Amino acid sequence: MSGLKRNYSKNNYSKNINIAKTVFIGIPLLSIILLIIYPTYFFIKIMLSRFDLSFMREPVFIGLTNFINIFSDIYFWNSVFNTFIIVVFAVLIEFALGLCLALLLGKIFFGGRIIKSLFIIPMMLPPIVAGLNFKLIFDTFGPINEFLKIFGIDPINWLGNPFWARTSVIIADVWQWTPFIFIILLAGLQSIPEELNEAAKVDGASGFNLFRFITWPLLVPSATVALAIRAIDAVKIFDVPFLLTAGGPGGATEVLSLYIYRATFRFGTMGYGAAMASIMLIGLSLLAVLIIKIINLSNRMGWD
Amino acid sequence: MKNLFYIVLSLVLISCLGVSSIVDANETLNVGIMSAHGMSDSAQYVAEQFNKKYGDKIEVKVTPIGFELLLDKMLVDFSTGSNLFDVYSVGYHWIGQVGQYLADLEKVKSEYPEIVDPNYNEEDFPKILWETYATYKGKQIGLPFVDGTLTLFYRTDLFENPEYKKAFKEEYGYELKMPKLGDDPLTYQQLYDYAEFFTKGVKWSDGKQYGIALPAAAGDPLLSTFCCFFGDYRRSPEGIKEFGKVDPDYGDYFTEDHKVAFDPKISDFGLKALKDYLELGKFSPSPETLDWITTSEPFSSGLAAMMIGWGGYWPSITAVGSKVHNKVAVSLIPMPHLGGWNVAINDNSDKKKWAYMYMQMLTSKDMNKTLYKEFTETPTRISTMMDKELQKDNPDLWVMAPSLKRVSTRPKMAVLSKLEHSMGVILSKAWTGGLSPEEALQRTADEWNRIVKMAGY
Amino acid sequence: MLRKINAISTLKLIVCLLFVLFFMFPIYWLILTSLKLPSDITGSPLVWFTKNITLDNYKLLFGYTGELWGEQEYVGRSFLPIITPYLVNSIFIGVFSSLIALLLGGFLAFGVNQFNFGGSGLYKWLLSLRMLPPIVVAVPMFLIFRSLSMINNRWSLIIVYLLINVPFATLLLIGFIKDIPKEISEAASIEGCNNFGIFFKIILPLLKPIMVAVFIISFIMCWNELLIANVLTASEAAQTFPVFTANFAQVERGTAWGSAAAGGVIGSLPILLSCMYIQKYLVSGLTAGTIK
C-alpha cells in the first residue's frame, strides 16, 4: 500500500493536485464531451439539409426549408397534439394517484419495504415489455374487457378506437410511472418532522386543514421535482406507443418521437427528421425552463 | 488498491480485444431475412446446404429481422454504404425506396458466367411475379423468394353444412358455394351475402359470431386490403378504359399517367370500392383493429366464418392446437392482392458472386418444392404450385396459381412508406367515424398527390 | 396502534390493496401468459388461472426443437431465434457500461466535491443531458461507429450508453459524497494520502452500498434501452434483449404470445431480482441527486 509516502514538497503538492484534477474531473468530462461533439455537429448539419435516403447519398444544404415544411405538416401537428394529450393526462393522473398513494401509505411502516419494492417494478421494467404486456391485456378478448363484462359493459375496442387507444397508452404510462411520483412524494412526506403534525393537531387542525397548511406546502419541493422530471420524460415517450398501437389507429397515438423515428428511418427523410427533433429539443428546454420558473415562483410566494 | 484497479483495467482491455465482434476472419456472407412466414427458417436451411458445399471458402450466416424493423435497417445500411448485410429479403413494394441500392443481377451474371445455373429456368416463375419481384426500372434486381397473395379462408364445417346451405338458398336464392380449383373467383356480392348470412342469418356459434374477419388496420393491412376492393374496379374493363393500363411500378392505385386513381375527382370507382369495403366490414369484428395477426385470431378461435389474409398464414391457422384445425379451406376473393418478397444483393457488397450463388440456390426449382414441403414457404414457381402431389397434401396450394391470374399490386415507389402512412392516418378515419367516406377518400387522394408531387414524380 | 383500527383505517387498507392489485396484475398476467398453453391464450372464455402450465414457451426461446405442448405435430421449426446470445449481450453491455460509468461518475463526483469545481452550471449541464431524446444521437452515433468499423459490436453500445450513465452516476454520487464529513479526508491527507488514495481507500468503501445501487440502476437502464441498440446493431452478435423483443414480439406464425410473454418475463428478471435492494436508494436514483 503506497499511501504513506511523505514526499510532499510545495511544488510536488500543487503538481499532484493538478494531476489529480485532470484525472478525476478531466477524464469523465472529456469522455462525455467527446461523445457529444460529433452528434451535435452532424445534427445541426442535417437539420439544415435535405437528406432523403431513397434518392441521395449525401445531404444537400437547403437552409431552413425543413422548418418551413414542418409548419404545414399535418402529421407533425397530429403527433404534437397526441403527445400533448397523452402527456397532460398521464402526468396529471400519475400525480394524483401518486399523491393519494403517498398519503395513504405514509404512515404504514410494516410491509412498507415490500410495497415499495413491488411498486418500483413497473417503472424499471423494459418499456417494450410493458408495451407487449398491455397489448395482451387490452386485447379485445383480453382480461380488461372480460372484467368489464362483470359490470355489464360491452367490450371496449381498446386498440382500434382512437379515443380508447390513447386512453390505453395513458393507462399504460400511468401504470408504469405512478410509482415514480409515489416514491418521491413518499420520501418528501417522510421528511416532514412529526412534531409539526403533532403541534398542528394540538392547535386543533385536522384532516384536510392539516394537509392544506402543513403537509402540502412542505411537499411542494418534492412535488415539483417529481412533476418536472416526469413531464420531460413523458414527452419523449416511444416504446409503448410503438409496440402497443404502432401509432394507430389512424395516427391517433402517433407521438412525436414515433413520428420523428418514422420520418428518419421509415421514410428516409433524415434532414426533416432532424429538424423535427430539434424542435422537440427546443420544446423540452422551454418546458424545463417553465417548470423551473414555477418552482422559483412558488418559493417566492412563500410556500415554505 | 491502486494495483487492484490496474488489474481490473487490464482485464477489461484484454476482454475488449477478445470479445469484440470479429469482422471477416473467415469470409462471411451476411444474409438478412424477414423473421416470419418460415422465411428465415428456409434461408437458414439453405445456408446449411450452401455451407456444406462451399464452407471452406465462405460461410453463410442468416440473421432474422422483424418486419417492423427490416425496412429501416435496410435504408440505413444502404444509404450509409455500411454493407451490414450482403443479401436482403426485400418486400417488393419497398423496391421503390431501395431500388437504387440493389445490385444489377444481369451485371453479376455477365461478370461471373460460370456461376449461372443452366437449369434455373426463369420461365418457371409466373410472369407477374418476375415482373413485380425481380425487376425495377428495367434492371433485374432480385430473385423471387416468397409469394404472398391475399386469400380467403373459410370454415368448411359451416359452408358445407347442409342445413345452412338450405337456409341460404331459401334466403338468397342461390347456392352457398365456395369456388374450388377451376372455378371462377367469388363475386363481391357473393362475399357480402355470405358474410351477412353467417353474421345474422343463422346462429352457428354459442357466443359472438361474425361472417368475416376483415383487416383494415392502418398501414400495410389497410393499403393491401383496400387494394383488393379498388383493384377489382381498376382492372375491370371499365376501369381499364377509365384509368388506362396498370403500370407495374405504380400499381393499381395509380392511373396510367400516374395520377391517383381513387381520387373522387377523377372517377367514382374509388368511392364505390371504399363503400364496398366499409359495408363488408360491418360483418367483421372492428376491422380497424385487425392487422394480419389479429385477423387470424378471431378466425382461429372460431369466431368468424371467413377471413381475408395472406396465404402464408395457413399453417398457423390450421395448426393442431387451433380450434379450427381441420375445418378450414381457402378460396379466391374477387380481386386478390399481391404481397411477397424477393432476395436481392446489396450493391455495396464485395461478395456479389457468392451472394448470387446463394440466392440462386435458395430460389431454384427443387429448393422451392423442398422449402414449401418443409417450411410451408409459399412458393414462387409454377412447377411447385401446380405439383399434383403437393396439391393433394396441402389444401391451400391450389389457390396460389389462380390468384396470380388477376391480381392487384402496390406502388413500387420511393415514397411508398409516406403513402402508406398517410393512408393509414387519413383513410382509417372512415372507419372510426372521424370523417365521412367521401371526405376521407378525397383527403387521402389529395395527400397522395401532394406527396408524389413533392418527391418530384 | 391497535386502537386506530377503525372505518377509515380499513378503508385505507382496502384502497391500498386495490392499488397493489392494479400494479401487480399486469405482472401476474405476463407470467401467467408465459406459462399457458396456446389454446388457453387465445381461447374464450378467458383463462384467469390455470393448472395446466407449460414451460414449453420458455424452452422455445432457448432453441428447443422437440415436441411442443404435448402435441405430436407442430408447424415449422423453431421460428424464434434463440434468445441466449441476446441475453448475453445485454448482460455484457450492461455490466461493462455500468462499471465504466461508475468509475467515471465516481471520479467526477469526487473531483467536483474535493476541488469545488463547477457549481450549479455543471450541475445543470449534466441534468440537461437527461433531456436528450435518443433519436438525436442514434444516427450520428451510427455514422461514427461505422467509420470505426464498430457497427454490430458490443463496445459501441457500451460507449454510447456512457452518455446516459455517467451523468446519472455523477449526479447521484455527488449527493452522497457531499455527506461524507470533510474531516475524514482531511485526516487522511495529513497522514500523507494523496487524492487517489483518498478516493480508493476512504470514499469508495464508504460509498459501497450506493455504488452497488448505482450499478444496478445503470445496468437496468442499459438493459431497457431500445432505439440506439436497434440502430447500432444488426445481428445477434451484439443485439440486446429489447431488440429481440421488438423483432420477434410480433412473430407471425400463429401469434406466439406465450413465447413473447416468456421473453418479457425473462427481460423483467433484472428488476424483479433487484427491486428489494435498490428501493432504498431509489429516490436519489430517480431524481439523480436533485433531492436526497
Is pLDDT of A196 > 50?
yes
C155 contacts C273 by C-beta, under 8 angstroms = no
Both A18 and A152 in a single domain?
A: no
Both A73 and A43 in a single domain?
A: no
Is pLDDT of A275 > 80?
yes
**Is the Cβ of C124 closer than 8 Å to some Cβ of chain B?**
no
Say if residue C81 is preceded by a cis peptide, omega within 30 of 0: no
Q: What is the pLDDT of residue C287?
A: 66
- Counting residues of chain C whose pLDDT is more than 90, the rounded percentage is 14
Q: What is the pLDDT of residue B285?
A: 86
Minimum distance, in Å, between the CA of residue C134 and any CA atom of chain B: 16
d(CA C234, CA C238): 7
> A4 or B210: whose pLDDT is higher?
B210
Which residues in A lie closer than 8 A to residue B217 (C-beta atoms)?
160, 248-249
**Is the Cβ of C251 closer than 8 Å to some Cβ of chain A?**
no
Which residues in C lie closer than 8 A to residue A25 (C-beta atoms)?
107-108, 111-112, 115, 117
**pLDDT tens across B301-355, in order?**
788 999 999 888 888 788 766 778 888 999 999 999 998 999 999 999 999 999 9
A touches which chains (3+ CB pairs under 8 A)? Answer: B, C
Q: pLDDT band at A8, cuts 50/70/90?
A: low
Both A18 and A77 in a single domain?
A: no
> HEC states along chain C?
CHHHCCHHHHHHHHHHHHHHHHHHHHHHHHHHHHHCCHHHHHCCCCCCCCCCCCCHHHHHHCCCCCCECCECCCCCCCCCCCCHHHHHHHHHHHHHHHHHHHHHHHHHHHHHHHCCCCCHHHHHHHHHHHHCCHHHHHHHHHHHHHHCCCCCCHHHHHHHHHHHHHHHHHHHHHHHHHCCCHHHHHHHHHCCCCHHHHHHHHHHHHHHHHHHHHHHHHHHHHHHCCHHHHHHCCCCCCCCHHHHHHHHCCCCCCCCHHHHHHHHHHHHHHHHHHHHHHHHHHHHHHHCCCCC
User: Do the chains contact at B71 and A251, CB–CB below 8 Å?
Assistant: no
Q: What is the pLDDT of residue A94?
A: 94
Q: What is the CATH number of the domain that holds A294?
A: 1.10.3720.10
- Chain B CA closest to residue C88: B19
Both A144 and A38 in a single domain?
A: no
Instruction: Work out the average pLDDT over C121-134.
Output: 82
**Is the Cβ of C110 closer than 8 Å to some Cβ of chain A?**
yes
- Chain C CA closest to residue B300: C42
Both A34 and A139 in a single domain?
A: no
Is position A57 within any domain? no
In C, residues 148-207, which contact B (CB 8 Å cutoff)?
149-155, 196-197, 200-201
- Chain A CA closest to residue B420: A267
> B6 or B382: whose pLDDT is higher?
B382
Both A127 and A226 in a single domain?
A: yes
Is pLDDT of A106 > 80?
no
- Helices (H) then strands (E): counts for chain B: 22, 10
B149 contacts B311 by C-beta, under 8 angstroms = yes
Both A276 and A214 in a single domain?
A: yes
Which residues in C lie closer than 8 A to residue B297 (C-beta atoms)?
42, 255
Is position A242 within any domain? yes
Phi-psi region of B38 (alpha: psi -120 to 50; beta: other; left: phi over 0): left
d(CA C215, CA B283): 55
Q: What is the pLDDT of residue B436?
A: 93
Q: pLDDT band at A2, cuts 50/70/90?
A: very low
Is position A62 within any domain? no
Cβ atoms within 10 Å of B332's Cβ, excluding its own = 23
Is position A64 within any domain? no
C285 contacts A187 by C-beta, under 8 angstroms = no
Q: Please report which helix (H) or strand (E) contains residue A60, including its range.
A: strand A60-61
- Counting residues of chain A whose pLDDT is more than 70, the rounded percentage is 87
What are the grid coordinates assigned to B109, written together?
Answer: 451474371
- Chain C CA closest to residue A118: C275
**pLDDT tens across C238-259, in order?**
899 988 888 776 544 445 677 7
Residue A100, domain extent: 69-301
Both A170 and A102 in a single domain?
A: yes
Q: What is the pLDDT of residue B283?
A: 93
Fill in the amino acid letter for A276. Answer: M
Q: pLDDT band at A3, cuts 50/70/90?
A: very low
- Does domain C84-286 fall under CATH 1.10.3720.10? My reply is yes
What are the grid coordinates assigned to B94, written together?
Answer: 419497398
Cβ atoms within 10 Å of B68's Cβ, excluding its own = 16
Q: What is the pLDDT of residue B212?
A: 93
If one counts the domains in chain A, the total is 2
Is position A261 within any domain? yes
Q: What is the mean pLDDT of chain C?
A: 79
**Is the Cβ of A300 closer than 8 Å to some Cβ of chain B?**
no
Tell which of B17, B19, B82, B290 to mutate to test the C interface (max C CBs under 10 Å).
B82
Is position A233 within any domain? yes
∠ at Cα A191 (A187, A193), nearest 5°? 150
Both A172 and A234 in a single domain?
A: yes
What 3-state class would DSSP assign to A61? strand
Q: What is the mean pLDDT of chain A?
A: 82
Instruction: Work out the average pLDDT over C95-117.
Output: 87
Name the residue among C16, C25, C133 with its Cβ closest to that of A236: C133
Which residues in C lie closer than 8 A to residue B85 (C-beta atoms)?
234
Both A12 and A145 in a single domain?
A: no
Both A101 and A11 in a single domain?
A: no
Is position A170 within any domain? yes
When mean pLDDT is compared across B183-187, C165-169, C174-178, C277-281, the lowest value belongs to: C277-281
Which residues in A lie closer than 8 A to residue B297 (C-beta atoms)?
141
Q: What is the pLDDT of residue B276?
A: 93
Q: What is the pLDDT of residue C7?
A: 72
